[in-house]
Structures are given as structure tokens and as C-alpha cells.
Chains A and B, each alone.
Chain A
Amino acid sequence: MDDEDRRLLERTLARAAAQHTGGALDAALAELGWLDALSIDPRAAISLLFQLQGATNTTSSALGRVLAHALGVGSGPEIGIVLPPVGRWDPPGTVDADDLVVHGLGPASLSGVGSALIVTSIGKRTVGITVPTASLVLRAVNGMDQGLALLEVTARTTVAEHMSEALDCDWASALVLGRLALAHELVGASRTMLDLACEHARGRIQFGRPIGSFQAIRHRLAETLVGIDMADAMLDSAWHDHSPETAAMAKSVAGRQARTTARNCQQVLAGIGFTTEHPLHHYIRRTLVLDALLGSATSLTRALGAEVISTSQLPVLPPL
């Protein structure tokens, strides 16, 4: 995608993400050709959309589309993709005796499609199994962030009847793109939180001065920008080298800094930032849940450390 196409895509996506969320945003994305963009230039399509979703606190089924793209299971809208449950990143399907056991999450749109793809571990194999949505138990999750309108997906069904169409799939690649998407969304949400806090720091007067003139506030906000730009740079490197390790690091850094951003910005916004009259709380809720999807900062960081200790080798550095 050249610069001009990229700018055009960004403008149309910005309009769509500012006006719509959920099913309406899915429809807008279909209309403006985001799925085509995803296959032509995954980096542009993913980074632009998810950054905007984060910035505007909107949501869509795009994360499932990203995983489907990475898994190579077509771009038809009729298949829903089930994500791992909160805090986990192994495939949502497992096999127990003769049963396919499903434990995962899905977007609200899942209830409206006829079938769902369950990525499933069978021994050392990872396969994609397509099942009728009707065979899944879907529960609307209220939880921390109702704006995400997630569904909890569970099922226990005989595996044999679905195995004829099972396809081997590359879950590691799906995790790479899914984590990059979530990391962009976390960075987008963080930038909006920082904007809200800076705006408050410039306008709120105490002791006869804007509170943004006090070093305690300035340094807290400066530190916040350092964290956000660090996560953004890590994303650059992850797109550059496409390795699972760098993508996991990018998701980790984005998740950790987003939670630090939330804490710092809420402290600067103080009382008003603790109310539902100010938008900050939506972003705080969103970042907490996004951090938990496909591996939280805490769990991915520990996994990285354990891996490096076992090999005594640092991950490969992305080259200059």
C-alpha cells in the first residue's frame, strides 16, 4: 500500500471508528474494504484500525478476522473465530477422550453466524475444527467492560463428527498478528488517556496555576509518554522481524504501559477521572481486558524469562 492509499484508508477508518461500534462497525469495515486491505497490507490494515479502535473506545469483530487471515481460513463473514479465554493463549479447543471441549471468548457477532472455527490442540497437532454455532453455549459477559460485548463460549461435543473437515493450522502465526493488533489497540487507548490527562492538566487551576505547571504532574505525564512511545517502537520492531518472540514482547510492553498509563492519568484527573461523567473509566476498563487477551503482560513476561533462563540465550535482536 503506498502512502496515499494508506492516508485514504486511515481517513475512512477514522470516520468509521468514530461513528460506529460493534455490529455497526463490522458493517462499516465490510463496506469500506478493510478485509481487502487486510489481505493486501496486513500491517497497515491492522495497525490503523486497532489504534483507532483503542483511541475511540470502539470495538468490532476485527480481531477474529485477523486470526482467520493468519490461519488462512478464508475471509468469508459466515465463520466466527473463538478466542482463548481471558489470561490464556493456548488454543480454545482441547480433546478430552472422545469429546471436543471448548472454553473461550467470542465477539457479540458470533451468535449471528452459522458456524464457528475452534482452533484445537490434539496432542502435538493444532487443527481448526468448524462447528455449528448452535452446538456452542454462549453467555453474554458483563464483567469489567460491557462495551466490548464479549461472549463466553463453552461446549462439550463429540469430536469425531467434526474431524473430517479438520485442517492443520498455524496457531503461532495467528498469535503473532492477534497480539500485534491488541498491542496497537492498547497504544491507541493509552494515547487517548494521555490526551485527556494533559488537557485536564492544562486547564485545571489550583493555587493560582494550571496543575500542569507542577513538576509532580509534569513528570508523571512525561513518564507516561515514554511508556507509550516505547510500546509503539516495540511494535515497529515486531512488524519488522515478524518473530513470535518480538510480537509477544510488543504485547507485553503495550499491556504493562497501558496499565501504567491508566494509573497515571487517573491520578492526574483525580476526582473527575473516578466518575462516569468523564470518559476515562471506559479506557481503564478496556485496557485491563485487552491486556488479559492472548496473554497478559505479567504472564508473557514470566514466560519470556523462563524461556531465556532455560536456553541461556537472549532472543534474536531485530537488525538495524
Chain B
Amino acid sequence: MDLDAFRASLDDWLDSNQEPLAVAYEGSGTLDQQMAQVAKVKRLTYDAGWMRFGWPERVGGFAGSTLMRAYLGEALTARDLVEPGLYSMTEVLAPTMIDYAAPELAAAMVPALLRGDETWCQGFSEPGTGSNLASLSCRALRTGRGWQVTGQKVWTSLAQYAQRCVLLTRTGTAESAHRGITALFADMDSPGITVRPIRTMHGSDEFSEVFFDDVAVPFDRTLGQEGDGWAVAMDLLPYERSTSLWHRAAFLHRRLQELLGIAPSGSLDPARLGEVIQLLYAFRARSRRTQHRMAGGESLGPETSIDKILLATSEQAIFDLVADVLTAEVSVGDDPDSDRWRTEYLYSRAATIYGGSAEIQRNIIARRLLDLGDDR
């Protein structure tokens, strides 16, 4: 199916299935409610086939252009049917799983993620390992029965919901840096895993600390080979800055349009509004180009740091505008709609922090795209 045909028939289907797809809560809803909604929408779209387009047949997909995946997320987000960050976890984790897991493992696991039967999380950051990912210390020891994992992860999104975890572990010496890292695919119900959710500023337990205490992970759950962990991470991070950002652009567009509808007369400065619109449209134009490169089979790399910076800049500019235009709603409003604007404003503050801080993205651009050498 080509993109235009996909778009037209998906739009029809969404129009005629408004009732089963509808959101059952007001405002932002709780994280539990948002997760249940995402799972429901993924199941309905998977069972109707939409969710399977753009994914390889060997993981239960219908093949075809990845642009169909981008459009599905765009359409669901534009209609406010899913929280885009939760929905897009699939786009972050499934592609790398397909690239690096043994074929039978990918075939067994990926369909459950696509259908929303499972949630997966990404165990990368640690208390001592934020921007300097290669210094991670969560250890995996090789034993006669498999890997034995001990250590701690943090900022692990959705860990308390997750059935599986894409986990980076130290298998080399402490000094081996990026060479001694191995990626594993762990079951979150394994004995020895403890999850402690962390309450964020925007009032959600979106991420957690995860403790691993002699957790057994079979060898056939290794992604790639021992020591390939850095390559797995470098494969995954550009996915974190591509299709999920396209979905986020749809969210920002919807919210900016909604702001226009309720902005008090005279509250919008034309010069400022014009610049915010241009930022959003330019971010989306950049993301569109990235989607087409991905669909053309190009592998994504450090240039996706530009997409991430543009997302963060546009998202914060939009919600700074929201805070100034909907001052009363954001600062003292307690109804569900006001709460939602406030929550989204607060969450927008994280856009320059998560997924590689704004500073790390600029370091990547300076070293990899501008050839400015090392920074020391």
C-alpha cells in the first residue's frame, strides 16, 4: 500500500471507529489511564492491521514504507487518542530489537510490543552515568547458566509497567569504557529486580529507579554479541530522535492550534506568535526530511541530534507562549483543562534534558558534524 492510500483508508477507519478508540478521561488523565488508553489503541490498530504496516514481515508486520508508521502515530496524536511519548516507545525500542536480537527472539517478542500486549523499557542511564553513557557500571557476569546482572538503573521510563527491558551492562573491565558494554533483553519479572517509581515535577511517575540484584538473564537474550552494547546504543539513539519526534510535532501542532482557539483577545503578540509558528514548522520540516531518509533505507546517525534540538527549542517556545497567554489557567486553574496545560508546560521543561541533554546534542554536532575534534 502506498502512503496516500494508507492515509486515506486509515483516516476513514479512524472516523468510523471514534467510539471504541475514544479517551475515557478528562484533561491529562493519570499515567495508569494514559497507559491503558495507549494499550487499547495499539491493540485496536494492530488487530485492524494499521499498526503492522511499515514493520518487517519477520516480526509480524506487513512490510512497506516506514512512512506509514510515521503517519499512523501522527494521525493518532493529531486526534488526541494517545499520549505521544508513551505511544512512541515502540519506535524507540522495536527497530533496534529487529536490528540486533536473534531473529527468533525478535519474531517472538516484537508483535507483543506492537499490539500493546506488552510495555518495554530502556535501561541505559545510571546514578553515576548520565551524559557519559560509556562509563556505565551495572555489571553482567558470565556464569554457567547465563548472565548474572547486578547494579542500578535510573530515569527508566515506564519500568513499573514493563514486561521487558533493553538493558546495557558492563561485561568488560571497569576501564573498558564503550568497548566493554553488552546489551541484554531482560524479563522484568525476573527474581532480583526491584522497581521504585520516581515522582516527577509534572506529577507523573513516568520513570523509575531499577535495582538488579543477581538477576539471571539467559545468553540467548544477548542483543548482538558480547561487547556490542555500544553499537546497540548508537543504533537505538537515532530512533529516539526520529519517528517519535515526528509524532511529537503532531502533538505540538494540535496544542498550538488549540491555544489559538482559546487565547484571550489581544493576548498574542504577532511577532512572537509568528516566530513560534516558524520554529514548529521548521522542526517539522526537518523531521519530515529525516522520515524520508529513513524510508529510503538510509541509516540514521548524529545528524538526528539536530532534530532533537529543534524539538526541544520548539516545544519550550510553544509552552513558554502558553504560560504567557493562558496565565490564569497555568498558574491558578484547577479544572482538568487547566491542569493539562500546566502539566504539559512543566513537562516541556524536560525537553532539553531527556534523551541526551541539549549540551550533549551540541557536543555531538560539534564533533561528528562540524569536525571540531575532541573537546579536551
Q: Which residue of B lies closest to A217 (CB)?
A: B372
Give which listed residue, B260, B285, B362, contacts A218 with CB less than 8 A: B362
- Please report whether the interface of chain B is mostly helix, strand, loop or mixed according to DSSP: helix
Q: Which residue of A lies closest to B363 (CB)?
A: A218
Q: Which residue of A lies closest to B275 (CB)?
A: A301
Give residues of chain A (136-158) contacting chain B, Cβ–Cβ below 8 Å: none
Complex Cα–Cα for A12 and B376 (A)? 42
Q: In whole Å, how far is B268's beta carbon from the nearest beta carbon of chain A?
A: 5
Given the complex, which residues of B lie within 8 Å of A218, measured CB to CB?
Answer: 362-363, 366-367, 370, 372, 375
Q: In whole Å, how far is B59's beta carbon from the nearest beta carbon of chain A?
A: 23
Contact A320 B70 (CB under 8 A): yes
Give residues of chain A (191-239) contacting chain B, Cβ–Cβ below 8 Å: 194, 198, 201-202, 210, 212-215, 217-219, 221-223, 225-226, 229-231, 233-234, 236-237
Complex Cα–Cα for A5 and B245 (A)? 35
Complex Cα–Cα for A126 and B94 (A)? 56
Contact A304 B278 (CB under 8 A): yes
Query: Within 8 Å of chain A (Cβ to Cβ): is B256?
Result: yes
Contact A318 B271 (CB under 8 A): no
Give residues of chain A (281-320) contacting chain B, Cβ–Cβ below 8 Å: 298, 300-306, 308-309, 312-315, 317-320
Q: Which residue of A lies closest to B273 (CB)?
A: A305
Given the complex, which residues of A lie within 8 Å of B284, measured CB to CB?
Answer: 237, 317-318
Query: Within 8 Å of chain A (Cβ to Cβ): is B373?
Result: yes
Complex Cα–Cα for A219 and B366 (A)? 7
Complex Cα–Cα for A244 and B170 (A)? 55
Complex Cα–Cα for A303 and B289 (A)? 27
Query: Within 8 Å of chain B (Cβ to Cβ): is A252?
Result: yes
Given contacts A249-B282, A309-B273, contact A219 B268 (CB under 8 A): no
The number of chain A residues with a CB under 8 A from chain B is: 47
Given contacts A223-B362, A225-B365, contact A302 B270 (CB under 8 A): yes
Query: Within 8 Å of chain A (Cβ to Cβ): is B23?
Result: no
Complex Cα–Cα for A253 and B278 (A)? 7
The number of chain B residues with a CB under 8 A from chain A is: 50
Complex Cα–Cα for A318 and B283 (A)? 12
Given contacts A309-B270, A315-B277, A318-B288, contact A230 B283 (CB under 8 A): yes
- Please report whether the interface of chain A is mostly helix, strand, loop or mixed according to DSSP: helix
Given the complex, which residues of A lie within 8 Å of B246, measured CB to CB?
Answer: 320
Q: In whole Å, how far is A290's beta carbon from the nearest beta carbon of chain B?
A: 17
* Max count, chain A CB within 10 A of own CB: residue among B67, B246, B288, B376: B288
Chain B 178-216 against A: per-residue CB contact (8 Å), 1 yes, 0 no? 000000000000000000000000000000000000000
Contact B375 A215 (CB under 8 A): yes
Given the complex, which residues of B lie within 8 Å of A304, measured CB to CB?
Answer: 270, 273-274, 277-278
Q: Which residue of A lies closest to B295 (CB)?
A: A320
Given contacts A253-B278, A312-B260, contact A213 B375 (CB under 8 A): yes
Given the complex, which residues of A lie within 8 Å of B219, measured CB to CB?
Answer: none
Residue ranges of A at the interface with B (Cβ–Cβ < 8 Å): 194, 198, 201-202, 210, 212-215, 217-219, 221-223, 225-226, 229-231, 233-234, 236-237, 246, 249, 252-253, 256, 298, 300-306, 308-309, 312-315, 317-320
Q: Across chains A and B, which 3 residue pairs bring their CB atoms closest together, nearest first?
A: A305-B270, A305-B274, A218-B366
Q: Report 25 cross-chain contacts, Cβ distance below 8 Å, ordered by A residue.
A: A210-B372, A212-B366, A213-B372, A215-B375, A218-B372, A219-B362, A219-B366, A221-B372, A223-B309, A225-B306, A230-B286, A230-B306, A234-B285, A237-B288, A301-B275, A301-B278, A304-B273, A304-B274, A305-B273, A312-B260, A317-B281, A318-B284, A318-B285, A320-B3, A320-B246
Residue ranges of B at the interface with A (Cβ–Cβ < 8 Å): 3, 7, 67, 70-71, 74, 246, 253, 256-257, 260-261, 268-275, 277-278, 281-286, 288-289, 291, 303, 306, 309-310, 359, 361-363, 365-367, 369-376
